[in-house]
Structure 1
């Protein structure tokens, strides 16, 4: 069906895990347009202290994010699911223009419409400066 983004709710453990993996893959592409297609046209976001509404704002936010957060690499893990909601925990690493590495830890709460598009995303995130030697082996080098 056009406009659907499988898997769709209600989620099972298997479909929730697939949704989380699809999100991880899209975010690791660092392609704001690709990522934004997973959200409703009027999706509501809270990312740290930034509040966004709609795909256009999401694309602008992600474009700026990945211009600042270089070498970005993300891992997501299913935390919980029910009906049309999924909670994940995640960590990602990136470096800034000066070469300082960071690891960000956080949690996200997601709510989906019946077509499997995310209509709400609320993220709480904390950054930790790390050295290049402290980077996770599971994060292959990307620039």
Structure 2
């Protein structure tokens, strides 16, 4: 079986590491890479969509990143337990008309013993913003270590 460290049970440090690894993967906008963090039969609720398994996750992410251009994401640990982590996040993107958005949300994650996410429940709201309200300006890809997090940005 594949392992995706860190694995449960989580400590504060390993939960923080898991959150940053997830953020880094999502900021690649690579559906194939991101899908490998989930169990083959992972169950998702993302807004009003219900997904099951890596193939559906991969297809969802492909559609998502075709619509959400110049996507940049920050995740922050909210809480953790044995095999569960809760995060809050915000990401910025624009659509094909040039309208910018900041999406705010919360996710609840449940992991198997190998550190793969078996369940992801996400609630997300999009807020239209002007280009001058943007806060995320790093080059596409991983958020630099010295870039402020959500709390530092007042989000």
Say whether the fold is shared (TM-score over 0.5): yes
Point out 4+ residue stretches in structure 1 off by more than 4 angstroms: none
Q: What is the CA deviation profile of residues 102-135 of structure 1, one whole-angstrom value per residue up to 9, with x for unaligned ones? A: 0000000000000000000000000000000000
Counterparts of 1:122 and 1:82, CA distance in 2? 16
What's the CA shift for 1:141? Answer: 4.6
Structure 2 unaligned regions, length at least 5? 142-155
Between Structure 1 and Structure 2, which shows a larger proportion of strand residues?
1
Counterparts of 2:140 and 2:15, CA distance in 1? 27
Structure 1 unaligned regions, length at least 5? none
TM-score scaled by length of structure 1: 0.96
Q: What is the CA deviation profile of residues 46-89 of structure 1, one whole-angstrom value per residue up to 9, with x for unaligned ones? A: 00000000000000000000000000000000000000000000
Alignment-derived partner of residue 37 in structure 1: 36
Alignment-derived partner of residue 72 in structure 1: 71
What's the CA shift for 1:37? Answer: 0.4
Q: Is the 8 A contact 2:8 2:111 kept in 1?
A: yes
Correspondences of 1:119-130 after superposition (within 5 Å): 119-130=118-129
TM-score scaled by length of structure 2: 0.89
Q: Is the 8 A contact 2:27 2:140 kept in 1?
A: no
Counterparts of 1:36 and 1:3, CA distance in 2? 13
Counterparts of 1:120 and 1:82, CA distance in 2? 14
| SS in structure 1 at match of 2:21 | helix
Q: Is the 8 A contact 1:79 1:88 kept in 2?
A: yes
